[in-house]
Amino acid sequence: MTAIAADLTIAARLHLQVLDQLSAVVKSHMAEAAPGFARESLGDLLDNFAEQRETYAAVVAAAQPVTVKLAA
């Protein structure tokens, strides 16, 4: 893995951690919010976080070495 690829992987993992933490905070606020616009907008924010998470997870997955075992 090149230095640039390693830096990207580290950054992607960090972004995943932050997104997970932010998602937990938003879910907590959603649980306390009354039905209506505020709760819906927090749901939209969670959807956005989920989309971003997929992107960063793909970057991390692409950086993982692939091992193939051949049949004997």
- Angstrom distance (rounded) from CA 12 to CA 18: 10
- Give 2 or 53, the one with higher predicted confidence: 53
Domain boundaries along the sequence of the chain:
3-22+35-63
* Segment 4-53, tens digit of pLDDT: 888 999 999 999 999 999 999 999 999 999 999 999 999 999 999 999 99
- Angstrom distance (rounded) from CA 40 to CA 34: 10
- Angstrom distance (rounded) from CA 48 to CA 39: 14
Model's pTM, two decimal places?
Answer: 0.81
What confidence category does residue 3 fall into, taking pLDDT thresholds of 50, 70 and 90? confident
Q: What is the mean pLDDT of residues 51-67?
A: 88
Q: What is the pLDDT of residue 55?
A: 96
